Amino acid sequence: MHLLVVEDEDTIAEPLVEGLRAEGFDVTRVATGEAALAAPPVDLVLLDVRLPGIDGFAVCRELRARSDVPIIMLTAKGEEIDRVVGLELGADDYVVKPFGLRELVARIRAVTRRMSGRHETRETLVVGALEVDVPARRAMLDGRELQLTLKEFDLLALLAAEPGVVVDRQRILREVWDTTWYGSSKTVDVHVAALRKKLGDPTLIETVRGVGLRLRA
């Protein structure tokens, strides 16, 4: 598995690269956002937020526009809003420095498993006028294709798999973001609001107060 480490601080990058290689990963390291965007395709990106020139958020946005490569953001920032921004831009996970190598490797493997499961799924979900083609990662409503981000699609697919059933927020965070961070569900609210707007009918996704969400059957 080939990883791209985007980290400008040598004191962090060098032991990180060494540790990841010891775990069996092929690793390429770059120190700037510009170099990250110019790098050849890899299997997963470890992306620092604070970079000279183009910052990590901008790099994440550009990478996500190009492909669905898994992205784990690395940052010393622990503020909730930074996590929300990173996830909203399409990051698959968010690790706050300092972190242990074991934790990071576990996160890499968890994100990789989820991506593998996505590609192995073979089904189209139909709920009324909504069709969610999971393997093709396309969603259609009344014959019109919806332009969804990676996380918006995953959230819609999760709800469409069980129409009429309430899916609790912990499960949404676990299955869509593959995280056990339950400190806030603001990132869920952000994506739900965006989905409702794109669906054109806010009542299609119902909020069950204190529990979770359901797609109207």
| pLDDT of amino acid 75 | 79
- State the pLDDT at residue 4: 96
Residues 199 and 158 in one domain: yes
At residue 181, the pLDDT reads 54
Mean pLDDT of the chain: 85
Burial of 55 (0-12, 13-18, 19+ CB in 10 A): middle
Specify whether 162 is located in the same domain as 199: yes
**By residue range, what is the domain housing residue 166?**
121-215
Collect the ranges in the chain with pLDDT lower than 70: 77-83, 114-122, 178-185
| Res 141: pLDDT | 94
pLDDT of residue 183: 46
Q: Which of 70, 89, 118 is the last residue of a domain?
A: 118
Going 106 to 109 to 114 to 117, the CA torsion angle's sign is: negative
Predicted local confidence at residue 109, as pLDDT: 85
The residues pairing with 5 across neighbouring beta strands, listed in sequence order, are 29, 46
The pLDDT of residue 78: 59
Question: Two tokens at 36?
Answer: 């990250």
User: In terms of domains, do 109 and 127 share one?
Assistant: no
Domain total of the chain = 2
